């Protein structure tokens, strides 16, 4: 049973695949950008229509967060492309976005309007959105780090300026997500922090990026160590986002609705 | 024969610095290379482990309660931390240990030590009655209140305070974000660390009969009221239908075949056409049929039109309740249509408060995400008797007294402003 939702995702997928392929031909660059923007426009429309249809912000389930993450990933990659500092981030970012689109295609979402009472809060949208922006930014940082690690002609003693900038912006969003979550928990349950598995891993992820920020401020020339720290921290981020739900302790988590 | 430097000289130099003098006096040869300037990761790890070891020995030999200090005492400690940072910066800024205190190495070791404690919290179940004696002795079952967390937090706070003063005294435009974020973190840690023993939390069960609750406390005086549950309002999201495997229930439900009645009134499954005819909420069954009745233990029911190549018929499906069983509509000998339990959409309770003079206060309404203030407490609605639904016989309330609320909000506010400034700066 293929839904309109899946067909729309498939169209976005095709636009982005062709857009990414054309990107590597200098003469077809304009066509490439046009196709990518068209895909992004269709994805935006899909999110808006889905939002109207389910009568709540589509930010509850794992599939819905993947959809937003994909949108942010493509948007930020386009923004970075237009800054002209690291143009190849666009096809790299889109390749990652495509992985998440395929996962959504294979796991279609229900039209589920349910939103448990604790989630009906003014903090719901800012908390989730800010986290997803942070995830998208730090994913791009990870891609840039892997690129720099394996690029043979790179300056081994200097961290890419754009990577450093995006890392700090991503960390600022990660901090905001953590603070908004604590404020929301206080309003809903009276506690900022309950050492819930998701919260614990969010703290671990935040601390890992905090270590990178401090480390790279002091040892700016130890590029290889910083790049490897970014790679490891991204694994922690993925555990926090996806891996936590597979832990036995997650069954008692207040974040189980996200599964 | 090994030569030793005069111990007083070594201590003086260590405390007040002047490494150049140490060099002039050629005292380095008396020092182990590990402690050579500047102290790095190894020294930080050794010092923190030493602090922890001392904490564990103290805890084991003579457990001390850190809960005896009041909110006022804790505010004084916070003030002293701020002052200590200033004194350390002004007086000891040439000392070896000052360089270590404000060093990146100590920051990273502190963060790793914090992460190590978090991992310990994941390994050892916290606040559990069923832990062995040695775990309890080492406070591994209550890490957040342990002496070694106290020691680590104190060190982190002193470090934060010192680096903040250092930046303030050498302030440039670049330090704006740093000072905001680090002051925010200092206040947040203070509220979590010092505030841990000042914050009071009680989970209380309020039933339909009056029961006493203390709502204010001043020294030896208590203000007590009677409280009871008057009303409870609960609304549900529309129920969902699902195709289930009747023979092999272990197969679970395939999410592909779950749909909300509200958004989809018909579904095609193999050669079966399923259409929603009537939805009854609330409903009770009487002799095989369902009727819209709001009675004790009511359930939800839907009448379906089922058609296949062989037949057309109608069947009821219900998700059941405490009093009535759930009912499925079979499609064939393998599959059936079932109704899933509805998810609560909103719930709120109405409480009645009776004061000692017999006066009954206006009724208080509490909703999830909308706590109310009752005396010294902030009251949160957290749960109810889900089996009884809107006829619940009790509600669970979380009553929280948090004198650190304002300080925490200031800390979080500074962190938010710092993060936004960082965003604008970097973007």
Residues 6+ apart with CB under 8 A from A31: A22
Determine what percent of chain B is predicted with pLDDT higher than 70: 87
The pLDDT, as a whole number, for residue B1 is 47
Cross-chain Cβ contact A120/B111 below 8 Å = no
Distance CA A218, CA B17 (A): 23
Cross-chain Cβ contact A114/B122 below 8 Å = no
Q: Please, what's the b/e burial string for A79-100 (b: 16 or more CB within 10 A of its CB; e: otherwise)?
A: ebbeeeebeebbbbbbebbbeb
Least confident of A150-159, B25-34, B129-138, B206-215: B25-34
Residue A80 near residue A170, CB atoms below 8 Å: no
Determine which of A189, A191, A232 to mutate to test the interface with B (most B C-beta atoms within 10 Å).
A189
Question: Do residues B76 and B148 share a domain?
Answer: yes
Q: What is the pLDDT of residues B92-128, one digit of tens each?
A: 988 888 989 999 889 999 999 999 988 888 788 777 7
* Strand ranges for B103-199 from DSSP E: none
Q: What is the pLDDT of residues A9-64, one digit of tens each?
A: 999 999 999 999 999 988 888 999 999 999 999 999 999 998 998 888 888 888 89
| For residues B154-181, average pLDDT | 93
Residue B48 pLDDT class (50, 70, 90 cuts) = very high
Distance CA B109, CA A198 (A): 24
The encoded tokens of residue A251 equal: 């069954």
The pLDDT, as a whole number, for residue B19 is 46
The pLDDT, as a whole number, for residue B144 is 79
Distance from CA of A147 to the nearest CA of B (A): 22
Residue at token pair 């604590």: A182
| For residues B18-40, average pLDDT | 56
Least confident of A179-193, B56-70, B224-238: B56-70
Residue B296 near residue B391, CB atoms below 8 Å: yes
Cross-chain Cβ contact B104/A218 below 8 Å = yes
Residue B380 near residue B349, CB atoms below 8 Å: no
Cα-based torsion angle of the residue sequence A114, A116, A122, A128 in order, rounded to the nearest 10 degrees: -80
Does residue A165 belong to the interface with chain B, where contact is any CB pair within 8 Å? yes
The pLDDT, as a whole number, for residue B2 is 46
The pLDDT, as a whole number, for residue B148 is 85
The encoded tokens of residue B200 equal: 């009071």
The pLDDT, as a whole number, for residue B17 is 56
Residue A140 near residue A93, CB atoms below 8 Å: yes
* Cα within 13 Å of Cα(A135), Cβ side: 28
E strand or H helix that includes residue A223: helix A223-241
User: Which residue range is the domain that position B323 belongs to?
Assistant: 238-342
Q: What is the pLDDT of residues A85-131, one digit of tens each?
A: 778 889 999 999 999 999 988 877 666 777 888 888 999 999 999 99
Distance CA B111, CA B156 (A): 9
Question: Do residues B261 and B183 share a domain?
Answer: no
Determine which of B128, B240, B419, B421 to mutate to test the interface with A (most A C-beta atoms within 10 Å).
B419
Determine what percent of chain A is predicted with pLDDT higher than 90: 53
Question: Do residues B210 and B121 share a domain?
Answer: no
Q: Which A positions 173-202 lie with beta carbon below 8 A of chain B?
A: 173, 175-176, 179, 182-183, 187-193, 195, 197, 200
Residues 6+ apart with CB under 8 A from A255: A196, A197, A198, A199, A244
| ipTM value | 0.84
Distance from CA of A117 to the nearest CA of B (A): 5
Determine what percent of chain A is predicted with pLDDT higher than 70: 91
The pLDDT, as a whole number, for residue A259 is 46
Distance CA A94, CA A74 (A): 6
Q: Which of A189, A69, A58 is nearest to A124 (CA)?
A: A58
Does residue A248 belong to the interface with chain B, where contact is any CB pair within 8 Å? no
| For residues B52-76, average pLDDT | 82
B200-207 β-sheet, strand order: B200-207, B394-401, B377-384, B372-374
The pLDDT, as a whole number, for residue A250 is 67
Distance CA B350, CA B427 (A): 49
The pLDDT, as a whole number, for residue B265 is 78
Distance CA A72, CA A137 (A): 8
Q: What is the pLDDT of residues B246-281, one digit of tens each?
A: 776 656 667 677 887 776 778 888 888 899 888 888
Residue B205 near residue B396, CB atoms below 8 Å: yes
Dihedral over Cα of B22, B23, B26, B27: its sign: positive
Q: Residues, chain A, total?
A: 259
Question: Do residues B157 and B255 share a domain?
Answer: no
Question: Do residues B92 and B57 share a domain?
Answer: yes
User: What distance separates the 2 farthest-apart alpha carbons in chain A?
Assistant: 59
Q: Which of B161, B147, B137, B140 is nearest to B197 (CA)?
A: B147
Question: Do residues B174 and B252 share a domain?
Answer: no
Q: Which of B147, B200, B185 is nearest to B402 (CA)?
A: B200
Chain B residues whose CB is inside 8 A of the A4 CB are none
The helices-and-strands tally (H runs, E runs) of chain B is 10, 17
The pLDDT, as a whole number, for residue B10 is 55
Residue B27 pLDDT class (50, 70, 90 cuts) = very low
Residues 6+ apart with CB under 8 A from B134: none
The pLDDT, as a whole number, for residue B89 is 94
Residue B170 phi/psi, 5-degree rounding, is -120, 45
Q: Tell me, what DSSP letter sits at residue A246?
A: G
Question: Do residues B161 and B14 share a domain?
Answer: no
Helix (H, G, I), strand (E, B) or coil at B96: helix
Dihedral over Cα of B392, B235, B382, A110: its sign: positive
Q: Which of B311, B231, B368 is nearest to A116 (CA)?
A: B368
Residue A228 pLDDT class (50, 70, 90 cuts) = very high
E strand or H helix that includes residue B58: helix B41-61
| For residues B365-385, average pLDDT | 90
Pairing state between β B266-269 and B258-260? unpaired
- State how far the alpha carbon of B286 is from the alpha carbons of A8, B298, B322, B339, B389, in Å: 46, 12, 16, 18, 21
Ramachandran quadrant class, B59 (left: phi over 0; alpha: psi -120 to 50; beta: rest): alpha
Residue B73 near residue B195, CB atoms below 8 Å: no
Q: What is the pLDDT of residues B333-368, one digit of tens each?
A: 888 999 988 888 899 999 988 887 777 777 889 998
Please provide the average confidence, as pLDDT, over all residues in chain B: 84
On the 0-12 / 13-18 / 19+ scale of CB atoms within 10 A, B197 is middle
- CATH code assigned at B220: 2.60.98.10
* Strand ranges for B179-220 from DSSP E: 200-207, 211-218
Domain count across chain B: 4
**Per-residue pLDDT at B223 exceeds 50:** yes
Question: Do residues B186 and B50 share a domain?
Answer: yes
Distance CA B6, CA B392 (A): 78
Chain B residues whose CB is inside 8 A of the A79 CB are none
Does residue A221 belong to the interface with chain B, where contact is any CB pair within 8 Å? no
Chain A residues whose CB is inside 8 A of the B242 CB are none
Q: Which A positions 103-142 lie with beta carbon below 8 A of chain B?
A: 108, 110-118, 120-121
Cross-chain Cβ contact B345/A190 below 8 Å = no
Chain B residues whose CB is inside 8 A of the A192 CB are 192, 408
| Nearest residue in chain A measured CA to CA from B400 | A190
**Per-residue pLDDT at A204 exceeds 60:** yes
Question: Do residues B51 and B110 share a domain?
Answer: yes
Residue B113 near residue B148, CB atoms below 8 Å: no
Q: What is the pLDDT of residues A233-250, one digit of tens each?
A: 999 999 998 888 877 666
């Amino acid at each position: 049973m293929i839904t309109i939702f899946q067909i729309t995702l498939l169209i976005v997928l095709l636009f982005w695949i062709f857009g990414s392929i054309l990107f590597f031909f200098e003469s077809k660059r304009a066509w490439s950008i046009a196709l990518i923007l068209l895909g992004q426009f269709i994805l935006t429309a899909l999110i808006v229509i889905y939002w109207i249809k389910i009568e709540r912000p589509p930010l509850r389930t794992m599939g819905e967060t993947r959809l937003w993450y994909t949108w942010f990933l493509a948007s930020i990659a386009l923004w970075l492309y237009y800054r002209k500092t690291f143009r190849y981030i666009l096809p790299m970012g889109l390749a990652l976005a495509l992985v998440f689109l395929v996962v959504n295609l294979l796991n279609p979402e229900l039209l589920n309007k349910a939103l448990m009472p604790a989630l009906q809060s003014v903090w719901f949208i800012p908390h989730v959105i800010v986290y997803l922006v942070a995830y998208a930014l730090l994913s791009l940082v990870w891609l840039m780090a892997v690129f720099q690690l394996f690029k043979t002609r790179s300056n081994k003693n200097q961290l890419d300026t754009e990577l450093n900038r995006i890392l700090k912006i991503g960390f600022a969003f990660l901090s905001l997500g953590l603070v908004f979550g604590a404020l929301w928990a206080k309003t809903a349950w009276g506690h900022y922090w309950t050492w819930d598995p998701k919260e614990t891993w969010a703290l671990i992820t935040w601390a890992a990026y905090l270590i990178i920020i401090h480390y790279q401020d002091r040892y700016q020339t130890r590029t290889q160590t910083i790049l490897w720290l970014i790679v490891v921290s991204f694994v922690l981020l993925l555990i926090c986002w996806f891996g936590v739900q597979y832990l036995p302790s997650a069954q008692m988590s207040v974040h189980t609705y996200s599964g | 024969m090994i030569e030793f430097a005069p111990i007083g000289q070594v201590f003086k130099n260590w405390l007040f610095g002047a490494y150049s003098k140490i060099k002039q006096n050629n005292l380095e040869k008396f020092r182990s290379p590990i402690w050579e300037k500047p102290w790095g990761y190894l020294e930080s790890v050794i010092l923190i482990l030493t602090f922890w070891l001392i904490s564990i020995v103290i805890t084991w030999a003579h457990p001390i309660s850190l809960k005896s200090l009041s909110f006022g005492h804790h505010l004084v400690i916070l003030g002293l931390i701020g002052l200590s940072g200033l004194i350390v910066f002004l007086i000891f800024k040439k000392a070896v240990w000052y360089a270590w205190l404000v060093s990146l190495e100590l920051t990273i070791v502190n963060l790793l030590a914090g992460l190590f404690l978090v991992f310990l919290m994941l390994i050892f179940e916290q606040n559990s009655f069923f832990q062995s004696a040695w775990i309890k002795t080492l406070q591994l079952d209550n890490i957040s209140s342990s002496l070694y967390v106290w020691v680590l937090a104190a060190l982190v706070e002193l470090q934060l305070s010192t680096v903040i003063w250092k930046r303030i005294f050498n302030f440039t435009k670049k330090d704006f974000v740093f000072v905001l974020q680090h002051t925010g973190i200092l206040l947040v840690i203070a509220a979590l660390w010092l505030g841990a023993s000042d914050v009071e939390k009680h989970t209380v069960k309020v039933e339909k009969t009056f029961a006493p609750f203390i709502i204010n406390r001043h020294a030896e005086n208590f203000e007590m009221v009677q409280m009871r549950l008057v009303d409870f309002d609960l609304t549900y999201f529309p129920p969902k239908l699902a195709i289930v495997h009747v023979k092999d229930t272990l197969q679970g439900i395939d999410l592909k075949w779950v749909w909300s009645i509200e958004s989809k009134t018909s579904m095609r499954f193999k050669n079966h056409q399923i259409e929603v005819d009537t939805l009854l909420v609330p409903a009770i069954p009487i002799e095989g049929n369902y009727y819209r009745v709001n009675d004790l233990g009511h359930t939800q029911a839907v009448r379906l039109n089922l058609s296949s190549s062989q037949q057309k018929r109608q069947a009821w499906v219900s998700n059941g309740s405490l009093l009535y069983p759930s009912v499925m509509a079979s499609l064939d000998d393998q599959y059936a249509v079932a109704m899933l339990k509805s998810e609560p959409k909103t719930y709120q309770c109405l409480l009645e408060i009776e004061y000692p003079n017999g006066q009954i206060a206006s009724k208080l309404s509490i909703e999830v995400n909308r706590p109310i203030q009752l005396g010294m407490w902030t009251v949160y609605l957290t749960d109810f008797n889900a089996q009884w639904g809107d006829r619940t016989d009790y509600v669970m309330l979380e009553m929280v007294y948090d004198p650190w609320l304002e300080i925490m909000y200031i800390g979080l506010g500074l962190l938010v402003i710092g993060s936004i400034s960082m965003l604008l700066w970097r973007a």
